[in-house]
Amino acid sequence: MNFELPRPELASRDEEIGRCLACRQTALTELGGLMPMYLSLDAGGRVRAMGPTLKKIAGGVGLGQPIETYFEPRRGWRRSGAMRVPGPDGAPQPEILLGKWRVAPGRRIHLWLRKHPDIGLRGSAIALPPSSGGGALINLTFGVHLAQAVRCFGLTNDDFAPSDLAVELLYLQEAKAVIMAELRGLTARLEDARAAALDKAMTDALTGLANRRAFDAEFAGAIAATRAGGGGFALAHLDLDHFKAVNDSLGHAAGDRVLEDVARILREEIRHEDLAARIGGDEFILLLRGDLASERLKELGERIIARLEVPIPFEGGLCRISGSIGVILSRSYDHPSAERMIADADAALYESKRSGRARCTIIRPDEIGGGLTPRDPRA
Amino acid sequence: MLGLINKSIQCFLTSSYGDAVWQRIAARIDIGPDGFETMLHYDDVLTDRLIEAAGVVLDRPEDALLEDVGTFLASREALRRLLRFGGSNYWEFLHSLDELPDRARMALPDLELPGLRLSEQGEGRFELRVTSQRSDWVAVLAGLLRAMADDYGALALIEPDETARGARLTITLLDITFAEGRGFDLAAGQHAVAAQLGGGGA
């Protein structure tokens, strides 16, 4: 790299020139140690010297070139002839003459790298005395582009002045990343635990179906959606027939096995968007979304009952059960309410039981408020 | 105390002696099998019980275990790198120890590290005074300083020295460039950071 010093204007004896050059060279080396990113410009705006770190990043420095060869002057650089910005007190600021550029001493200035336009440097300038040729001495630093610059130029500890906080900044960035990773881990573990707890709170432990709490929440949501003009839904209330007999004759293990089987059948018969919940010992409820035709609901109910009646083998014996179902539709109601709908579904179920069990009763819209009343139609 | 300290000991035990040993130790101090959370706070007494339980289960002196904890910590890449920010050679690193607790607090204000004070005794001899409520830091630091000497490729003797004059370590730096140290690239951490953040771009 050619690092020639500009010829001093002294036209005296050769040895004096030599001494002077050597002396200046030492001074510049020392200056580079103190400020590794200094930039010395002459009064014509040409690069006179650079600190070692700046030389590393400016790329292919031949001295005596205009500053624009390596840098794009932005903030704080005024082209001669452009409007002067007044200083903080309103008075015109003194400026340093640098060829076609002017900078105010001590004010913040920015230079961007020509070869890496994403990296900007910032700093400030002081004027050099006319006796040493004028121009400016500028001290620069990376500011927010530090991390990019370190990556881009492979900078090390030794490329920064001891007074520079650059290394602390890198340290902090790295330390924060480690801590962030820890916190992300913690958040993920807490989220898993939360999901598991929620799942436990909303699930019936034996069958894996939704529990009463989960059903109530979904049901309330479905009613609200219907009231707001969304799609309708149907409720199917299922009560097992002869379940107590299985429990009594074959034991609770057999009863549990039956309940698991019922849950499996319900899961298989409903669609993804529906919900099956176990809301009592042998009571289940299905929330079936959409405005389903009564005929389809009837078919569904009868198919479920037919599957429930297939005997379930258990430890050499056979568990025989059936089920009664009562169905209501949200579109039967002008103003659907949870209490009313549950009571009507209950009444429909009761009707199935009353008329001989193992059947599916659907209360159609025109029957609401009609013949059926909850629980005991004979009362 | 910040869980980070306990979690570090837990990680050391798990990676050196296996999960089964950790489970036995965890059971003795009534902490769940998952152990400690780095960013939560725990009672200081729990740390004492943890170290004691580890000593009993492994049938090893506590000081020897704690030195191993120090060595283990310096071998964790993330922490090794943070320590290497202290300086570009072992001499500079030793001198950065004065700042270590504040440096750590800069990143994690809750972290309570012992006060450290390095003094040069001449001829490559240093004394590191350790000020803390807890006496176990000296052993941890001994392990950590030995491991970092290897990391920098320096040859140094490190002796814990707990006397009536207080907790301290004496360090004799025999050769600062004894061996080829492990590398340290200022920017390497950023790649790791980018990868961790799923950024990919480097």
Question: Which positions in chain B touch A174 (Cβ < 8 Å)?
Answer: 78, 81-82, 85, 189-190, 193
Contacts of A168 in chain B (CB under 8 A): 103, 106
The CATH number assigned to the domain holding B153 equals: 3.90.1520.10
Q: Which residue of B has its CA nearest to A178?
A: B78
Residue A243 has pLDDT above 90, yes or no: yes
Of A16-20, A195-199, A349-353, highest mean pLDDT:
A349-353
Residue A206 reports pLDDT greater than 80: yes
Cross-chain residue pair A174–B197, CB shorter than 8 Å: no
As a whole number of angstroms, the distance between CA B153 and CA B151 comes to: 5
Q: Between β-strands A101-103 and A96-98, what pairing exists: parallel, antiparallel or unpaired?
A: antiparallel
Percent of chain A with pLDDT over 70: 92
Tell me what pLDDT residue A374 has.
43
Q: Quick one: DSSP state of residue B98?
A: G
A157: contact with B, CB 8 A cutoff: yes
- Return the structure tokens found at A375: 């629980």
Residue A11's pLDDT is: 54
pLDDT at A349: 94
CA distance B197 to A178: 10
Domain-terminating residue out of B11, B30, B60: B60
Residue B89 lies in a domain: yes
User: Looking at the predicted structure, is the pLDDT value of residue B135 above 70?
Assistant: yes
For residues A361-378, give the mean pLDDT.
58
> Does residue A54 carry a pLDDT above 80?
yes
* Secondary structure, 3-state, chain A: CCCCCCCCCCCCCHHHHHHHHHHHHHHHHHHHHHCCCEEEECCCCEEEEECHHHHHHHCCCCCCCEHHHCEEECCCCEECCCCCCECCCCCECCCEEECCEEECCCCCEEEEECCCCCCEEEEEEEECCHHHCCCEEEEEECHHHHHHHHHHHCCCHHHCCCCCCHHHHHHHHHHHHHHHHHHHHHHHHHHHHHHHHHHHHHECCCCCCECHHHHHHHHHHHHHHHHCCCCCEEEEEEEEECHHHHHHHHCHHHHHHHHHHHHHHHHHHCCCCCEEEECCCCEEEEEEECCCCHHHHHHHHHHHHHHHCCCEEECCEEECCEEEEEEEEHHHCCCCCHHHHHHHHHHHHHHHHHCCCCCEEEECHHHCCCCCCCCCCCC
Specify if B107 maps to a domain: yes
| B136 in a structural domain | yes
3-class SS of residue B201? coil
Per-residue pLDDT of A97-110, as tens digits, reads 999 999 999 999 99
Same-domain check for residues B164 and B105: yes
Report how far apart, in Å, the C-alpha atoms of B107 and of each of A84, A170, A175, B104 are. Answer: 43, 11, 6, 5
- A182: nearest CB among B39, B82, B192: B39
Residue B198 has pLDDT above 50, yes or no: no
Q: Alpha-carbon dihedral of residues A243, A244, A250, A256, nearest 10 degrees?
A: 60
Does residue B91 sit in the same domain as residue B160? yes
Q: Residue B102: which H helix or E strand, with range?
A: helix B100-107
- Can you give the pLDDT at residue A9? 54
Q: Does B39 touch chain A (CB under 8 A)?
A: yes
Residues B54 and B85 placed together within one structural domain of the fold: no
DSSP secondary structure letter of residue B198: T
When pLDDT is averaged across residues B132-156 and rounded to a whole number, the result is 93
Question: Are B107 and B157 found together in one domain?
Answer: yes
Confidence at A17, pLDDT banded by 50, 70, 90: confident
Residue B8 located in a structural domain: yes
In this prediction, residues B108-116 reach a mean pLDDT of: 89
- Using a CB–CB cutoff of 8 Å, tell me whether A225 touches chain B: no
Considering the domain architecture, whether residues B110 and B170 belong to the same structural domain is answered as yes
Higher pLDDT, B165 or B2: B2
Q: Are both B109 and B56 inside the same structural domain? A: no
Q: What does the pLDDT average to over A179-206?
A: 87
Q: What's residue B103's pLDDT?
A: 87
CA gap B51, B194 in Å, rounded: 36
Complex ipTM value: 0.73
User: Is residue B118 included in any domain, yes or no?
Assistant: yes
Maximum average pLDDT range among A13-22, A57-66, A165-174, B123-132: B123-132
pLDDT of residue A188 exceeding 50, the answer is yes
pLDDT at site B50:
96
Inter-chain CB pairs, A–B, below 8 Å: 73
**Model confidence over A62-98: pLDDT tens digits?**
788 999 999 999 989 999 888 777 767 777 778 999 9
Asked whether residue B95 falls in the same domain as residue B145, the answer is yes
Residue B26 has pLDDT above 70, yes or no: yes
Same domain, B98 and B30: no
**Confidence grade of residue A18 (pLDDT, cut at 50, 70, 90):** confident
Find the domain containing B26 and state its range: 3-60
Contacts with A172 from chain B: Cβ below 8 Å: 106-107
Of B37, B187, B197, the CB nearest to A186: B37
Residues of A annotated as part of the active site: 282
Q: What is the mean pLDDT of residues A197-211?
A: 89
Whether residues B95 and B53 share a domain: the answer is: no
> How far is A355 from B183, CA to CA, in rounded Å?
86
Task: Answer whether residue B94 shows pLDDT above 90.
Answer: yes
Displacement of CA A26 from its chain's centroid (Å) = 55
pLDDT of residue A95: 92
Asked whether residue B25 is domain-assigned, the answer is: yes
**Cβ contacts (< 8 Å) between B39 and chain A: which residues?**
179, 182-183, 186
* Average pLDDT value for residue range A333-340: 89
Give me the residue from A156, A177, A186 closest to B193, CB to CB. A177
Q: Which one of A151, A175, A189 has the shortest CB-CB distance to B190?
A: A151
B46/B114 same-domain check: no
Any domain includes B197: no
Cα distance between residue A276 and residue A287, in whole Å: 6
Same domain, residue pair B54 and B110: no
Taking only the tens place, the pLDDT of each residue in A119-163 is 999 999 999 998 888 999 999 998 888 888 888 898 988 899 988
Residue A335: Cβ-neighbour burial (10 angstroms; 0-12, 13-18, 19+): exposed
State residue A104's pLDDT score: 92
- For residue A189, the chain B residue with the least C-alpha distance is B37
State how many domains chain B has: 2
Domain shared by B88 and B22, yes or no: no
For range A356-364, the mean pLDDT: 88
Residue B73 has pLDDT above 90, yes or no: yes
Q: Quick one: pLDDT at residue A375?
A: 41
Neighbour-count burial for A250-259, b at 16+ CB within 10 Å, e otherwise: beeebbebbb
For residue A267, give both structure tokens: 């899961």
Residue to mutate among B7, B11, B34, B186, with most A CBs inside 10 A, is B186
Domain for residue B193, yes or no?
A: no
Q: Do B187 and A178 touch (CB under 8 A)?
A: no
A170 touches chain B (CB under 8 A): yes
